[in-house]
Structure 1
């Protein structure tokens, strides 16, 4: 794909994300997406055959970028504590930078098919399994208290994801360092081996 084609595609995805967040999936038309992107409908359909495909690509591409970044982190040789803190930071930054995506996921998942929902669930499951390895390593090294590494990983991801409701409604500049420290302290209070 040429650089111009990539740029056009990115503009389409950005316009779609804005409109899906503002109006919802059902109320957003391909014509409105083309108009917001400053393109003709033909160009839009050249890149995406349907609104459904566009919606799935938008969610998949953003999610894949985050997944790659987190997987790279989890394969580092840092201490379990350092990896956990960086995991929190990466997820929070992603949530702040992609507020519209969070709104889309919350308000429009009923419009996706079961196969796509299963794909998203599988990605979530893989992330839990990757984080579980770090938690288990911390338990084996005596850093984290013993227990179910899987349940701990699920709880940590759940705590991070729950910040979405707070971050979404904050209008002022968010102090990411403060939010990371807050979550890290809360999590460590629960899992640190004393």
Structure 2
């Protein structure tokens, strides 16, 4: 004659054990989601520079009231025109005028404009990095330059020896470029 315990064997499981296990799974999933959210928010500067992740970062930052850094695509700045002429009233000064366009699909931070002037041998005689407040015509500097927007450049640069014959312009990331002016 065999004797079986009324509640069944211990390894058969009970309803209360299933509920506890399900609560642990739900809690684990919620903790993983919270961790992923923290990683996303703390690394938002990196993720915001990815075109696929930027909408997610923007949505999360809207909910949690964090700031999304400006888009940075330095290669999307294209010089449209430039002209370098002697200043009419000061022979030791060159006037630089021109325009560039933000061809990125998103607004972005203003670039640093690097102007390099060289002599007849191609030797750089002046290199200057200019912030938007230095080169924008009109002096007003919005936070960002819009997608597809064109900006006008106006600069005066000293050339006391009047040796500059060639000019080169490049755009640099303002967050990565210390602004220097050299002779």
- Measured against the shorter chain, the TM-score band is under 0.3
Higher relative contact order (CA 8 A, sep 6+): 1
Q: Which has the higher strand share?
A: 2
Higher-Rg member (1/2): 2
Superposition TM-score, scaled by structure 1 size: 0.26
Superposition TM-score, scaled by structure 2 size: 0.27
